[in-house]
Structure 1
């Protein structure tokens, strides 16, 4: 798939990203629907000498899982170029290789998942146009592989990107498309999608729709938890994060703080990057309530772990912390935090 190769190559070369302008988010991006990408095997030409089997598929799956673990623990700044190089140097060749149809479909599904993850890491660095291009490739590969799960997950990821950038209508459309494309989803996936629909609706100020979807997410999560809780998927911590976001967008700052604290308590320890970002967000909301010392304590826990995370979004939260805490340095707790921030963060961030 030549488009995927070119995309990966430009991601490996930061100078080309700037020239091509792939850092710009496009609200007008054309998102291919499921019928448009379903089974498009003709996009991948076979006939080269290489032949693949399930061991190659398993290797791509395992590599994607390892890169995802690195991203969760340390952020995507280092992991994304690794993923891009793997796409270009290994996965692209597998996509053009001969093999049984079952194996080729499995390889495309694995490549779709890796492309989605690489796009997610580009979002983390603020490279939004680049992320969108990875996401579209993930949709195309998922359709060719008849992989509903990754297709819906990718649409949901695109909605998260849009909502974080304040594009509520686009976020809602993408979240609704993800839900509509998953008729056979299990309860955990339905909770995953409904939570994003709730957040998008809340951003638009649609209280009725937001609360309906968050209740749906809670009900589906109850069903999912009764079947056991697999590590690494949408879980009660994620649900509480969505509850917090919905409450905040609807004006309930105190309620959003309560839900974010619950999310933090339930989060698995390996999710360091999310912990830094979300604790910083929690501190910002504690400060909005006038709880300066509580905010300082929360911010300090985020700042203590920040040096281990290479993440543009985590950096943004630290810049915001410095800006918000500086006017309060007459308070001993705030002054101590500000001094720690100046000693920890590079000068460009304070």
Structure 2
């Protein structure tokens, strides 16, 4: 019998782990945390890390988790080669080098295919993703100006705008679980052919702007479902299309959306960088747009621990909103007093004023657009959690009940999380009959199976 070749220590991976300053246990925990974002319940410990460093190759499915954990710690991309892993071909949608429209079609085609959607959903959010700056995307018009088969006019662009508004309305009222595949199909079957068609320059840029907003909306809906890697891909396509259209507003609003995504995942430094980049790239923006951008900057600054900066920015947001005219259009400029109060609530929460946070969330709920059912479930659940945190159990239960009234009509990952959290948070209060009734109601409604948040399989494991 031949002898087994001895394993060769992975010196590249060893050097990277040494650079992080982590112990083997801390590295294992970081990998487990990244896995949890993908819905994988991993239990790696220091012994697994020792095996990896001494030459045992991690499973192919796990290697991207190691690379992402290292990238987040080192704040730069980490490739397979840099970590001593075999280099795998890029099989994901939209690889670099493919023109914008072609990669958008590839991405949307995968997203509208139910057999592929699960694969896309496990894509990782990457803090080391390269975000194209405005100078990088503004010159890319030639990448999407390739049509010869037909000619379009403003009527076709108006159709894209109207359909996108309908999809956005469905998302607001019912959540993105069903609306996003519709958006993906529309991108592939209608919008992409329009982008390839001949058109006057003004019409072509209008079409690119409409496509940029639809791509942003698809990314936003992917965030709602917890598919964060997929959302990043849609967002980058939105940035590229906005640059090709010379559309600063969509570019800045997409960066802001990426900041919101990062802050929800607790990547606080990245969130602040994206919010700042969005504000800096918005020349001569109107006051409502300024409020939209500075409100997110204030929230991100608070999460980063910058109290003076957060307070200065939220004052600027209030001043900008006071100067704004009545509604300035639908797409990105709908920042309103309800959104302002949500940001005030988050800032107060970060700086240790839970009662002030509850008051601001209550005001936001009073002012909120009644058509946004998904938002009522999500933000209502947040208010209930904050009310419970300050000892207002019965008020929290009343708020949860209102959210649960709406929940059966909503298909949303974030709404699912709020319902699962209600079950968990009310568990210590089951001796109170009001709390018990809400707990049992939430438990009966909570998702299980493939739609359970983070792959947790419903609430059974929490009880």
**Match for 2:250 among 150, 154, 157?**
150
How much has 1:50 moved relative to structure 2?
Answer: 1.3
**Residue number in structure 2 paired with 1:260:** 361
**Residue number in structure 2 paired with 1:229:** 327
Distance 1:20 1:82 in 2: 16
**Residue number in structure 2 paired with 1:84:** 184
Structure 1 residue 37 and structure 2 residue 100: aligned?
Answer: no
**Residue number in structure 2 paired with 1:244:** 345
Distance 1:273 1:19 in 2: 25
User: In the TM superposition, what whole-angstrom CA distance separates every residue of 1:77-119 from its partner, at most 9, and x where no partner exists?
Assistant: 0000000000001101011000111111110000000000000
Distance 2:113 2:220 in 1: 18
**Residue number in structure 1 paired with 2:383:** 282
**Match for 1:271 among 346, 357, 372?**
372
**Residue number in structure 1 paired with 2:279:** 179
Distance 2:149 2:255 in 1: 35
Distance 2:414 2:204 in 1: 36
Please say if residues 17 and 23 of structure 1, whose CA atoms lie closer than 8 Å, have aligned partners that are also in contact: no
Q: Tell me: CA distance 1:22–1:150, structure 2 relative to 1, closer, same or farther (3 Å).
A: farther
Runs of 4 or more consecutive aligned structure 1 residues displaced over 6 Å after TM superposition:
none
How much has 1:339 moved relative to structure 2?
Answer: 2.1
User: In the TM superposition, what whole-angstrom CA distance separates every residue of 1:277-319 from its partner, at most 9, and x where no partner exists?
Assistant: 0010000011110111111111110011100010000000110
Distance 2:365 2:196 in 1: 44
Q: Which piece of structure 1 moves more, 44-53 or 19-28?
A: 19-28
Q: CA RMSD in A?
A: 1.3
Q: Tell me: CA distance 1:68–1:104, structure 2 relative to 1, closer, same or farther (3 Å).
A: same
Distance 2:168 2:160 in 1: 12
**Residue number in structure 1 paired with 2:153:** 53
How much has 1:22 moved relative to structure 2?
Answer: 5.3
Please say if residues 288 and 321 of structure 2, whose CA atoms lie closer than 8 Å, have aligned partners that are also in contact: yes
Distance 2:254 2:145 in 1: 24
Structure 1 residue 205 and structure 2 residue 314: aligned?
Answer: no
The structure, 1 or 2, with the larger RCO (C-alpha pairs under 8 Å, 6+ apart) is 1
Distance 1:322 1:286 in 2: 15
* Greater percentage in helix: 1
Distance 2:108 2:444 in 1: 36
Structure 1 residue 301 and structure 2 residue 410: aligned?
Answer: no
Structure 1 gap segments, 5+ residues each: none
Q: Tell me: CA distance 1:146–1:275, structure 2 relative to 1, closer, same or farther (3 Å).
A: same
**Residue number in structure 2 paired with 1:349:** 458
Please say if residues 80 and 121 of structure 1, whose CA atoms lie closer than 8 Å, have aligned partners that are also in contact: yes
Secondary structure of the 2:197 match is coil
**Match for 1:65 among 148, 165, 168?**
165
Distance 1:339 1:317 in 2: 15
Distance 1:29 1:290 in 2: 41
User: In the TM superposition, what whole-angstrom CA distance separates every residue of 1:192-235 from its partner, at most 9, and x where no partner exists?
Assistant: 000000110111111111111111101101111xx223575111
Secondary structure of the 1:153 match is helix
- Whose Rg is larger? 2
Structure 1 residue 316 and structure 2 residue 414: aligned?
Answer: no
Secondary structure of the 1:26 match is coil
Please say if residues 39 and 145 of structure 1, whose CA atoms lie closer than 8 Å, have aligned partners that are also in contact: no
Structure 2 gap segments, 5+ residues each: 1-100, 449-456
**Match for 2:436 among 335, 342, 348?**
335
How much has 1:336 moved relative to structure 2?
Answer: 1.1
How much has 1:44 moved relative to structure 2?
Answer: 1.6
Secondary structure of the 2:401 match is helix
Distance 2:230 2:117 in 1: 8
TM-score (norm: length of structure 2):
0.73
Secondary structure of the 2:326 match is coil
Q: Tell me: CA distance 1:280–1:19, structure 2 relative to 1, closer, same or farther (3 Å).
A: closer
Distance 2:232 2:423 in 1: 31
Distance 2:403 2:270 in 1: 31
TM-score (norm: length of structure 1):
0.97
Distance 1:349 1:133 in 2: 28
Distance 1:135 1:39 in 2: 18
The count of corresponding residues between Structure 1 and Structure 2 is: 348
How much has 1:345 moved relative to structure 2?
Answer: 3.0
User: In the TM superposition, what whole-angstrom CA distance separates every residue of 1:114-166 from its partner, at most 9, and x where no partner exists?
Assistant: 00000000000000010000000000000000001100110000000000000
**Residue number in structure 1 paired with 2:231:** 131
Please say if residues 429 and 436 of structure 2, whose CA atoms lie closer than 8 Å, have aligned partners that are also in contact: yes
Structure 1 residue 192 and structure 2 residue 292: aligned?
Answer: yes
